[in-house]
Chains A and B, each alone.
Chain A
Amino acid sequence: MARLYEYQGKQLLKAAKVPIPQGEVATTPQEVARIAEKIGKPVAIKAQIWAGGRGKAGGIKFANNPGEAETVAKDLLGSVIKNLMVEKVLVEEKLEIDKEYYVGIIIDASREVRAPIVMFSTEGGVDIESVPSDKISQVPIDVIRGLRLFDALNLAVPLKVPTKFLPSVAQAILGLFQTFKGFNCRTAEINPLVITKDGKILAGDCRMAIDDSSVFRHPELGIEVAREAPTPPTELDKVAWQIEEGDLRGTCYIAQMVPEIVGLNYVGYHGIGGGGAILGVDALNRQGLKIANYADTSGNPTAAKVYRAAKVIINQPGIEGYMLGGFIVANQEQWHHAHGVVKALREELPKRPGFPCVILLCGNKEKESMEILKEGTADLPGRIEIYGSDKVYETEFLAKRMKALILEYRKERGIKEE
C-alpha cells in the first residue's frame, strides 16, 4: 500500500467536505513563519513522516507566534524522528480540543465479509486497537450500495454522540468513505476527529494508504513508488521501480537498506522468493555482513528483468560482493535467471576484477541453468562460486563463502577493516 502524508490526506478530506484545520505544508523555517503569520493564531508544527506516535517522539510542537514557530521549525526540520528524516512540516492552527473521536475504514478480507468495514469510536486520539469493543461501532459496506447517511448516523447514535454533533460527525464519516472509495484506499482513518471547545468538528490527523495496483489511476497524488515501505523511496529505489512499474511478468522487487554505503561489509543481495531469501540475509548477518539492499526476482520474471535487477544491485557503490540467494527449489524455469545474471556479470565483472559473487540457483531446469552459469562466467575475472539445490538449505555455508571471498578481495586490494 502506498502511503500518503498527513497533509496529503487532509487535502483529499477537504475535497470530500470534511473540515480540516487551517494550515499549509512547509519545508523551511521561513516558510513556517510565513504560514504562522497567515494563520494569525497559535500553531501546531507537525513533522510529516510515515510514523505514528509523533507527538511522544517530539515530532509535534507548538508555537504562539511566527517567531517561535520559525525557531521550533529550525530544530524540527532536518531532525530524525523514529529513524525518519523530517523534510516537511505541516503548520496548522492549534486546536482547542474538547473531545476526540475516531473514524477508520479497513478492508476485511475474511471469507465471510470481503468488504470495507467502517469503524467509529468515541475514544479517539489513541490506538484503536487499545479501545474496548463496546466503545467501537462498525459496519461492513456493500461497495455497490455504498455508505448512506443513515449508516453513518447508525454508527454514531449507539455510542451516544450528542445530537448537536450528529450531522457533522456523519458528514465526516461519509467524507472519509468517499475518499476511501474514490482514491482506492486500503486503509483510511481520521484519528482524532476533533470536537473543539467552540463546537467545531475537524479532522485532527489522518492516515491513508492507497492500493498499490491503483496508484496509476491517481497521478495527481505524486506517489513515486507504488509499494508499501517504511521510508520514502531512495534515488536507487526509484530507478529500480521503473523495472517493475507496468510490467507484471514476474516480480522485480528492490529496496535499498541504506541510501549511501559507509564502511565495509555490505553485500548486494539478490533473493529469489521473498521468504527463503530472508534466511540468506540472516546467515549473512551472522557472518558480520550487511545487505545494501533487499531484492526478490520471482514469479517467473523475464531474463531481461533479472538482468536489470542484477545490474542495479551490482552497481551500488561500496558493496563488496554479490549474492544470488535462491534459497528455494523454484517452479519457474531457472534458466531465465541464469541468462539474466550471466549477462549482468559479463558486463560488470570486467570493470571490477576479482569481485566476489556467490550464486545459488535451484529448481526447474536447474541442470541447464548450472551449465549456462558455469559456461557464461568461466572467462570472467571474478571470484565466482555457483551452487545448486544440494546447497539450498546451507545458508551458513554460503554466507561463510561470501565472507571468505570478500576477505580475499579486500586483501587483494589492500583494504583493512578497522
Chain B
Amino acid sequence: MEFKERTIKIIIDESKCVDCKTHACAAGCKLYDRGILVIKDGKPALGGDAEYAQRVGTECLACEYECWFRGNKAIKIEAPIPGLEEYLRKRGLSLA
C-alpha cells in the first residue's frame, strides 16, 4: 500500500508485514507523528483517507526508520529533491 503526505510518499510492501510481530511502524507513528498509521488485520493502514494523511501527517520519517530496525524493512519513503539528479548528472555524477 502507499500513501502521500504533503511532500513525501510512503510505500509499504505488505507482503513483508505478514509475520511482523512488532508493528513498530504504528508505534513509531504514534510516538513521533500523530498516529496516522494504525494496524488493521495485522497490517499497517491509514487511520483515515488520503486527505487526512496529507493534512495530519508531519513527515517524521519514523515509520521507515522503525521498520528498518524493529520491523521487516517493508517501508520505503520517497522524498524527492527536484533538480538534484540533473545537477549531479551535469557533473558526471548520479544520485543512485
Which A residues lie at the B interface, using CB under 8 A?
235-236, 238-239, 242-243, 247, 249, 302-305, 307-308, 311-312, 315, 317, 335-336, 339-340, 342-343, 372, 375-376
Contact = CB atoms under 8 A, between A and B. Distances in A.
B20 interface: no
Give me the 9 closest cross-chain CB pairs, A-B, nearest first: A304-B59, A239-B83, A302-B59, A303-B61, A339-B61, A304-B79, A303-B60, A304-B8, A308-B81
Interface string B5-19: 111100000000000
B81 A312 contact: yes
Interface in B1-53: 5-8, 32
Main SS of the interface on chain B? loop
Contacts of B79: 304, 307-308, 343
A339 B60 contact: yes
Contacts of A243: 81
29 contacts: A235-B83, A236-B87, A238-B83, A239-B82, A239-B83, A242-B81, A242-B83, A243-B81, A247-B7, A302-B58, A303-B59, A303-B60, A304-B5, A304-B8, A304-B61, A304-B79, A305-B59, A307-B61, A308-B79, A312-B84, A315-B87, A315-B95, A339-B60, A339-B61, A339-B65, A340-B61, A343-B61, A343-B77, A376-B65
A308 B58 CA distance: 15
Contacts of A343: 61, 64-65, 77, 79
B62 A339 contact: yes
Nearest to B95: A315
In which size bucket is the chain B interface? 20 to 34
A247 B58 CA distance: 12
Main SS of the interface on chain A? helix
Contacts, number: 69
A249 B8 CA distance: 14
Q: Most chain-B CB neighbours within 10 Å: which of A243, A247, A303, A315?
A: A303
Contacts of B64: 343
A304 B7 contact: yes
A315 B86 CA distance: 12
Nearest to A239: B83
Contacts of B65: 339, 342-343, 372, 376
Contacts of A238: 83
B32 A242 contact: no
A372 B64 CA distance: 12
A238 to B, nearest CB: 7
Nearest to B5: A304
A343 B61 CA distance: 8
Contacts of B81: 239, 242-243, 308, 311-312
B78 to A, nearest CB: 10
